[in-house]
Chains A and B, each alone.
Chain A
Amino acid sequence: MKDRNHLSDIGIAHDVKMISNGLVDIPMLQLLSPDGVAHDSDGYAELDQDKSEKILQTMHYIRILDERMIAAQRQGRISFYLACTGEEAATIGSAAALEPEDMIMSQYREQGTLAYRGYTTKQFMDQMFSNQKDPNKGRQMPIHYGDKALNFMTISSPLGTQIPQASGYAYGQKMAGVDALTICYFGEGAASEGDFHAGLNMAAVLNCPVIFFCRNNGYAISTPAEEQFAGDGIASRGIGYGIKTIRVDGNDVLAVFAATKKAREIALKEQCPVLIEAMTYRLAAHSTSDDPTGYRSKEEEAKWREKDPILRFEKWLKSKNWFNEEAIKQFAVESRQEVLQTLKQVEKEPVNHIDDIIEDVYDTPPWHLKEQLQSLKQHIRQYPEAYPKTSGRIKND
């Protein structure tokens, strides 16, 4: 047993004195003032003009995609959507600091990271329409993306389950000797799940090269952060687990980029986890099934709208002379058109053949699934009008 974890190196006290919250003061890294003026730092040195333009384009693209898909949901064309408005700097800024080989294990509001890696509008749409081109084969609700080629782990609805999985995935990367790590995104609400504790503790004890990236956006559906935890955010917990930790301004691309870059360097060099807590605000509703007017004020939202991460980043780009207003306007027009056209195109794509219903449960369908499929098909043939999505294609099977 190492003494450090048990008894030695502990100072002795003779006063009955409890340690209270606030003794450890965790500051928030900010490299770009709310007015878009950069502080001196070498943390974002690698954020060159090309990368900056790619970040900005991705931020605009995601905002357009979010707007159009919320509208599509309102029109009844898709069942569900979940926007990331206000959190674009946190997700896209961190994705920009990673390498393509790094595995992303996200929660569900990180579509920006996927877009940054090159996921196409068609791919987003195929998933949201659960059609036969969807790589998930139409099995999950909209926004549960996954793409092995882009090292983006398929999203799962249960909250926080990806956290201990990220520790395991990163351990596997370390054992395989690859020069890559895992980044695991989650919200401050998900950090209340037992899997958060389990995952961080295991990563710390087993020295896993993983970046835990918490988007502290103030709300878990309707529950505000002050009803979620009483401690100093999520960052304070990292210290308890013995994990190197940093808190950043999540609406500041430069700070997010610099912190993630540093975290990646440490995690790979020292083979250990790092925790980043990004302080941001969920300007969007939780999802299309949610209405925030029931639990927060217009004034509060307006205050945060002023802190829009895109405007703030654009101010900095202007100061660098890297902001081409015409080009970005043109990009927005084209993106909007592309989204609308793709939407029309993919909604005509049929769902998978009924035979797919028993696929991927096991590596190959066992006897009982085959038996159940045969009896299901017989039933569909008997009542084809009741199952119009699949009946037309099984008549002659």
Chain B
Amino acid sequence: MTKMNMLQAVNNALITAMEQDKSAMVFGEDVGHFGGVFRATSNLQEKFGKARCFNTPLTEQGIIGFANGLASQGSTAIAEIQFADYIFPAFDQIVNETAKFRYRSGGQFTCGSLTIRTPYGGGIAGGLYHSQSPEAFFAHIPGMKIVVPRNPYQAKGLLLASIRDDNPVLFMEPKRLYRASVGEVPEEDYELTLGKADVIKEGSDITLLAWGAQVEILEKAADMADADGISCEIIDLRSILPWDVETVCESVAKTGRLLINHEAPQTGGFASEIAATVQDKCFLNLESPIARVCGLDTPYPLAHEKEYMPDHLKTYEAIKRSVNY
């Protein structure tokens, strides 16, 4: 075990993957010698050479198009999109190509060996173009997997599992936690199961559900609620697609209440999908309406970032409303 922050854990996972798989390549804007704008790819070029870790021109659609071709050829492609806010020029390549490659060829060709890493989320004074959480757009695409880690241990284990999974994975890294989240990480190779949620605190009165950086917001709110005598169960969803309905519904059946928290705008956010499924499967268990604590339906603000955030106080208030319904 070594103490690492999330960037170091990502870096460590990439080194582990590239050492073990000679066909693994890491590329994107500024990822080469410079090591990426956040330094997630530090020293990879020195360690594995310029042919396996390289800068690309500034073209997100080109990066993912190139990655699709490279993966379909049989190599392990690990592409970085510098900010999730800039993934949209690659939307066509992801929606129409990455996700449909296997299906449209009857399984003859696939992009299964592709992983797209991208930092997402706010809380870093990044304004509307360095703060977005676009997971819901990609959750609508059959053929993709979407994974979000909440701490360094999760980041390494989930990233290694994503790289080796035989399906294309969008790996979304909560950039607010890159340096803020520090924890013990095994130096050896390990994987965490994709598609499986993690119950991180058991409780009996209400289920709190989030992913990535918002999980620690739930923990703060749960501590406040605990002082009021409300027992919260906390679940980190970890995978947005496919998501672990079983774990979530088991928990809701027990607590009778559900609160979902995400940074992305509320309308059409992934909480809507979760709420629809849970009311379908747990209708008679529910004691109160499913609560959503989300971003506002506005672009991500800069001066009003603190006010926009679905923080622990908004979450705490929503917990009380749900329990006292």
Contacts and interface: CB of A to CB of B under 8 A. Distances in A.
Interface of A: 103, 105, 134-137, 139-140, 144, 146-148, 153-154, 156, 158, 161, 163-173, 175-176, 182, 194-195, 197-199, 201-202, 205-206, 359-363, 366-369
A195 B69 CA distance: 13
Contacts of A362: 102, 143, 145, 167
A363 B165 CA distance: 9
Contacts of A366: 195, 242
Given A154-B104, A158-B96, 19 more contacts: A139-B103, A146-B109, A148-B108, A163-B65, A167-B65, A167-B69, A168-B73, A169-B72, A170-B69, A171-B69, A176-B23, A205-B57, A206-B54, A360-B105, A361-B142, A363-B110, A366-B195, A366-B242, A369-B142
B104 A198 contact: no
B254 to A, nearest CB: 21
B93 to A, nearest CB: 6
B65 A154 contact: no
B97 interface: yes
Interface in B28-87: 51-52, 54, 56-57, 59, 61-62, 64-75, 77
Contacts of B74: 172, 176
A198 B62 contact: yes
B167 A363 contact: yes
Nearest to B242: A366
B19 interface: no
B66 A168 contact: yes
A141 to B, nearest CB: 10
A140 B57 CA distance: 33
B106 A361 contact: no
Nearest to B68: A165
Contacts of A197: 59, 62
**CB-CB nearest 8 A-B residue pairs:** A164-B65, A168-B69, A198-B62, A172-B73, A165-B69, A154-B105, A168-B66, A168-B70
Most buried by A among B54, B62, B89, B110: B62
A110 to B, nearest CB: 16
B59 A201 contact: yes
A359 B65 contact: no
Contacts of B100: 156
A176 B89 CA distance: 29
B107 A165 contact: no
Contacts of B96: 156, 158, 161
Nearest to B79: A168
Nearest to B69: A168
Interface in B109-145: 109-110, 112, 142-143, 145
A201 B195 CA distance: 37
A315 B290 CA distance: 78
A156 to B, nearest CB: 6
B281 to A, nearest CB: 11
B92 interface: yes
Contact of A198 (B65, B73, B166): B65
Interface string B127-171: 000000000000000110100000000000000000000110000
13 contacts: A144-B104, A148-B109, A154-B109, A158-B97, A161-B93, A168-B66, A169-B73, A194-B89, A202-B65, A361-B142, A363-B102, A368-B242, A369-B142
B185 interface: no
B9 interface: no
A214 B167 CA distance: 32
A171 B70 contact: yes
A360 B106 CA distance: 7
A186 to B, nearest CB: 13
B44 to A, nearest CB: 15
B260 interface: no
Given A153-B72, A153-B109, A158-B97, A139 B104 contact: yes
Contact of B66 (A167, A175, A359): A167
Nearest to A168: B69
Most buried by B among A134, A139, A148, A161: A161
Contact of A134 (B52, B71, B75, B106): B106
A169 B57 contact: no
B25 interface: yes
Most buried by A among B73, B75, B110: B73
Contacts of B166: 363
A167 B52 CA distance: 15
A147 to B, nearest CB: 7
Contacts of B75: 172, 175-176
A361 B245 CA distance: 19
A158 B101 CA distance: 12
Contacts of B56: 202, 205-206
Contact of B69 (A158, A166, A368): A166
Nearest to A202: B62
A134 B75 CA distance: 27
A198 B57 CA distance: 8
B196 to A, nearest CB: 12
Most buried by B among A164, A168, A171, A369: A168
A297 to B, nearest CB: 35
A166 B66 CA distance: 7
Contact of A195 (B65, B73, B104): B65
B106 A164 contact: no
B41 to A, nearest CB: 17
Nearest to A173: B73
Nearest to B74: A172
A165 B72 contact: yes
Contacts of B145: 362
B16 to A, nearest CB: 20
Contact of A164 (B62, B108, B110, B167): B62
A155 B6 CA distance: 40
Contacts of A163: 65
A260 B108 CA distance: 27
